[in-house]
Structure 1
Amino acid sequence: WHYLWYVPYDVEGMIGVQHGGDREAFFARYAEYWQQVQDEPDDKIPDDYYWHGNEPVMHVAFLGSLAGRSSLTADASRWVLGHRYSTAPNGLDGNDDAGTLSAWYLWASIGLFPVAGTTTYALASPLFERVEIEPVPGEVFVIRAPGASAEVRYPTGWSVGGLDLPTSH
C-alpha cells in the first residue's frame, strides 16, 4: 500500500494505469483506502496502509485534490492532522527527519501541499481563517478561509491574484 499511490508528479497517468482512466473508480478506491487507514488499530508497529512517518506516503492525503475531488483531500488531511499529531510523548508518527513531519503539518494546516518533482501545489483544507506568507520581501501571499474550523473544512473556492482556480468537491 505504501508505494501504490507513489506517483505524485503524474496523478493522471496513475489513474490511467491503475483504473483505465476511470476517475470514479479511482475515487472509490481512494475513499476505501482511507476508510481502511482509519479502521486500522493504532499500535506500536508501523501502519499497514498509511504510516505517516514514511515519506513515500506523505502526499497521499492530497491525491483527492490533485485528481479533482478536494473534499477527499479535506477529509484525509484533516484526519491525519487530528490523529497523527499530538503533544503526547508519541505525538509524531515516526522520526521528524530534518523537520519533514513538522513541515507536512505546517503545509496541511495552511491548506497547501507542494507536490514533489513539480511546481504544483495541491489544495487542501486550511485550519485558519487567514494566513499571510511573505515568500520574498514585500510580496505577501494571503490565504483566506472564512469560517475555517473543525466543522467547516471544505473550501468553496480558491483564487490567486484575483483569478479563480479550478476546484471541485
Structure 2
Amino acid sequence: FSVITDYEKGIKYPLADFNITPDVAIVDPELTYTMPAKLCAHTGMDALTHAIEAYVSTAGSMYTDGNALHAIREIVEWLPKSYQGDHEARAHMHDAQCIAGIAFSSGLLGIVHSMAHKTGAAFTGDHIIHGCANAMYLGKVIQFNAKDERARSRYAFIAKDILHLEGET
C-alpha cells in the first residue's frame, strides 16, 4: 500500500490498504437522480477511464475484459442521456460505473489515473476535478501507450468495435 507521511509528527498513514476496502457497495441509482450535470459528466469520464484502462492493462484478463468492455458500451450509450438528467440513463450509468470498478479492481488502472490523482492534489486552490483530469489526460496517454502493439490493438478494438469510429490509425 501507499503511505502519506506527517513529517511533523513522524507518522505514516496508509492511503490504500485492504483493511479499508469496503465489504459491501450500495448500488442505488436513486442516489444519482439529483446529481448536477457537471458532476455527472466528470464521474462518467472517470468510469469510462476506469474501463478503458482496465481493458488495456497488462494485469487484465478475460475475467476483467468482459466487464471493462461492457462498461464502455454502457457508458458510451447512456452518459449523454444521464447528463441530461434521464433517470433510466442514470441507473445504467450507476451500474456501468460499478462494473468498471469490478474490472479495474483486478485489472488495475494506468497512468491516466495516476496523473489525475496527482493533478487534483497539486491544484488544491483551483481544484481540478478527478474525472475532468482523466478526460484531459486520456487522449495523450492513449497516443503514448499505443506505441505498444498490444495496447494499440486493444485501443483499436475499443475504437472500431465498441465506439464504431472510422479511421485507419
TM-score between both structures, scaled by the size of structure 2: 0.29
Greater fraction helix = 2
TM-score between both structures, scaled by the size of structure 1: 0.29
Greater fraction strand = 1
Bigger-Rg structure (1/2): 2
